């Protein structure tokens, strides 16, 4: 073992009459550990919020939406869907529609968004089916058995609570026919076939799923769709696939991918993550200043040892290395402690869902912790580098002192 490492370890285990340096070393380790664990938890929380929002958004919307550039309904949506599906990277293409309406129930009326479902799209139906918590969507898939039967719909759980509707009850939908020269309200009774919960408050409080042909009647453009919703094999390839689709369909159609539609949200989350990282790194930096204090005390307490080492031939590089190694050990111990505490805190937070949020404000009920290996490594590395940097001044101070002065002043 190199004598520099041996002496660094021995100085950390200072004698009983030199407990001050040991106490400051323990405080430094605890401070770095708390800073690293806080950094890991903060980054895991930011990752969890971002991933949860992205998952909930993509569960209810498409990776890419294709629509007419002039905003008019798409009448040939079936042939267009088949054509788009041949684009590399596209796994499914289904027509849908989005139209505003009012839903009237026993407790009152509420604003709603009519979301048309293409009954021929198995993937679209399965995505909705997985979120149904009451009733069934079988009636929507099968359609009306008799002409006089009422259309069936699915509504969000928050919308059901707001209007007082239950499965099997009859509600009224009021929509404006915007495809005519004058606005003609369309009123129609529907039967509630089921209630769904997507986990995103915005969807659960406004969306109504109904067959696409029924939704198109409300909009005043029968047998048409407003958009073609696409699902991709790789969501991060959306920009390239969208460019290929625009080149294939020409200027009559335009596209909006999920990143473009939600760019303000994800940009805000990225900014919040960077600011949080910066602030917590400052906290770790303050904690590493304890290492400087610890090593200054060690230099003062060990001035006689330093003088003896210099007198017997130890060069300045070796003396400097002793204190830098000691600071690096403190930093490494603090980083390991912080990583352990951070991972445990994330596991406990996920187990008991500690971070709960008001759904009507943040759209999700709780935030999971998603610690990523790269973030954990970054937190530990930042703490270690800052700890090592904090040793520079005490190590240089130890080297600058002359051996004769050290031996003369030592007790």
CA 55 to chain centre: 9
**Residue 228 corresponds to which tokens in the numbers above?**
């073609």
The Cα–Cα gap between 234 and 90 comes to 9
Q: Which residues pair with 187 in a beta bridge?
A: 174
Residue 403, pLDDT score? 57
Ranges of each domain in the chain: 3-57+265-409, 71-251
Contact 242, 182 (CB under 8 A): no
Residue 229, pLDDT score? 92
Residue 21, pLDDT score? 63
pTM for this predicted structure: 0.74
Residue 134, pLDDT score? 93
Query: What secondary structure, in 3-state letters, does 49-64 show?
Result: HHHHHHHHHHHHCCCE
Tell me which residue of 261, 372, 352, 354 sits closest to 39, measured CA to CA: 372
Residue 177, pLDDT score? 61
List Cβ neighbours of 364 (8 Å cut-off, separation of 6 or more): 49, 52, 53, 56, 199, 200, 201, 357
Environment class of 10 (CB within 10 Å of its CB; exposed 0-12, middle 13-18, buried 19+): middle
Residue 289, pLDDT score? 75
The Cα–Cα gap between 49 and 369 comes to 8
In the chain, the N- to C-terminal Cα span, in Å, equals 29
The Cα–Cα gap between 381 and 370 comes to 19
SS3 content of the chain, % helix, strand, coil (to 5): 60, 20, 25
The Cα–Cα gap between 357 and 130 comes to 23
Pairing state of beta strands 207-211 and 109-117? Answer: parallel
Q: Which sign does the torsion angle of CA 354, 61, 65, 187 carry?
A: negative
Q: Give pLDDT tens digits along the chain (411 positions).
A: 676 777 777 766 665 455 666 777 788 888 888 888 988 998 899 899 888 888 877 877 789 999 999 888 898 898 999 999 999 999 989 999 988 899 999 888 999 999 998 887 887 788 888 889 999 888 777 766 555 678 899 999 999 999 999 999 999 999 866 555 555 678 899 999 999 998 888 889 999 999 998 888 887 778 889 899 999 999 989 999 999 999 999 999 999 999 888 888 888 877 877 887 787 777 777 777 777 777 777 776 666 767 677 767 777 788 788 878 888 888 899 899 999 999 999 999 999 889 888 866 676 788 999 999 998 998 899 888 888 888 887 877 777 766 555 555 555
């Amino acid at each position: 073992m190199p004598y520099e490492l041996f002496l660094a370890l021995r100085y950390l285990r200072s004698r009983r009459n030199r407990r001050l340096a040991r106490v400051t070393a323990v405080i430094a380790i605890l401070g770095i550990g708390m800073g690293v664990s806080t950094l890991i938890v903060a980054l895991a929380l930011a990752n969890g919020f971002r991933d949860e929002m992205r998952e909930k958004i993509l569960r209810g919307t498409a990776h890419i939406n294709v629509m007419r550039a002039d905003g008019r309904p798409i009448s040939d949506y079936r042939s267009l869907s088949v054509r788009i599906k041949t684009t590399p990277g596209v796994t499914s293409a289904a027509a849908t529609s989005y139209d505003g309406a009012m839903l009237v129930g026993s407790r009152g009326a509420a604003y709603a968004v009519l979301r048309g479902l293409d009954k021929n799209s198995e993937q679209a139906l399965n995505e909705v089916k997985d979120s149904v918590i009451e009733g069934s969507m079988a009636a929507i898939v099968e359609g009306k058995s008799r002409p006089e039967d009422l259309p069936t719909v699915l509504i969000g759980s928050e919308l059901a609570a707001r209007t007082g509707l239950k499965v099997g009850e009859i509600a009224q939908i009021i929509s404006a026919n915007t495809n005519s020269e004058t606005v003609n309200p369309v009123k129609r009774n529907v039967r509630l076939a089921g209630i769904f919960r997507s986990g995103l408050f915005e969807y659960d409080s406004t969306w109504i799923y109904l067959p696409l042909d029924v939704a198109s009647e409300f909009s005043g453009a029968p047998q048409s769709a407003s958009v073609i919703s696409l699902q991709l094999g790789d969501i991060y390839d959306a920009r390239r696939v969208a460019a290929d689709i625009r080149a294939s369909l020409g200027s009559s159609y335009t596209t909006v991918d999920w990143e473009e539609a939600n760019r303000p949200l994800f940009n805000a989350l990225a900014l919040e993550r960077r600011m949080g990282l910066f602030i917590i790194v400052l906290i770790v930096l303050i904690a590493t200043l304890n290492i400087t204090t610890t090593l200054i005390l060690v230099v003062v307490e060990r001035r006689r040892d330093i003088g003896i080492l210099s007198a017997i031939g130890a060069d300045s590089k070796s003396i400097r290395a002793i204190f830098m190694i000691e600071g690096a050990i403190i930093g490494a111990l603090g980083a390991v402690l912080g990583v352990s505490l951070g991972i445990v805190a994330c596991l406990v937070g996920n187990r008991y869902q500690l971070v709960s949020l008001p759904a009507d404000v943040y759209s999700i009920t709780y935030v999971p912790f998603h610690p990523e290996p790269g973030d954990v490594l970054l937190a530990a590395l930042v703490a270690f580098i800052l700890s090592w940097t904090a040793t520079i001044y005490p190590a240089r101070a130890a080297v600058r002192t002359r051996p004769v002065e050290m031996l003369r002043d030592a007790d």
